[in-house]
Amino acid sequence: MTELKGKVAIVTGASRDIGRAVAIELARHGAKVAVNYRNDEATADGVVDAIRQAGGEAVKVRADVTRAADAARLVSETREAFGESIDILVNVAGGMVERRPLGAMDEDFFNYVMQLNVTSTFLVTQAAAPHMPAGSAIVNFASQAGRDGGGPGACAYATSKGAVMTFTRSMAKELGPRGIRVNALCPGMIATTFHDTFTKDEVRANVAAATPLRRQGNSEEVATTVAWLASDAAAFVNGANIDINGGTFFS
């Protein structure tokens, strides 16, 4: 049974799509949630309002989690709002920026994508971990692209998500002796604004048709898995990179 009553959670990139669904799902199971966002305050307000209207507790925290000072402030403001301990950290923040083949990438672009996806995960984990007691859980967001290399022009993104998978395994070993579990999810084709932006409609349709379940996934289906991983129901799951792709790709 997924039970998170009284737990304190940070969800980065929580203002839309999967991050929004994760924040709402954690709150639905009793967690107090810090809703992190970088730019869109209105959508973050919407997430907080949705949680509060359902009887939960939430605060919004603006922070650019690719910056160490902002990551530290995210943790400190969460602790000020809800107490000393952080019980759950979900690193959702990230992005592709745009599709660029190797010849069209420069060093700045490659480094920026790595910052969005890997550096952000590292910085928030580093800031939060000292305040996480035994029994806590970290859930990172990798991608199916981290396993199979991604689609055309996704080299930087896929590389960064592969790094998140390896970082997850490393942290599972380093933080496990303290009773902190670290796992990651590797979503495939999930119906979000990410794919609205970066994936052509015909490609999405073809992927859905080739998926054994014959459809795309949705953010809520991903969020329920996050809540399970964050709970004691997954108490012996550590260092796993879990696929959520309807059977499109088997790792």
Separation CA 188–CA 190 (nearest Å): 6
What is the four-CA torsion angle of 38, 39, 42, 47, rounded to 10 degrees? Answer: -20
Provide DSSP, 10-23.
Answer: EEETTTSHHHHHHH
Q: Is 157 annotated in the active site?
A: yes
Q: How buried is 8 (Cβ within 10 angstroms: 0-12 exposed, 13-18 middle, 19+ buried)? A: buried
Beta pairing partners, 61: 36
Contacts of 197 (CB under 8 A, 6+ apart): none
* Catalytic-role residue among 37, 122, 157, 198: 157
Separation CA 35–CA 51 (nearest Å): 10
Provide DSSP, 143-164.
Answer: -HHHHH--STT-HHHHHHHHHH
Active site residues: 157
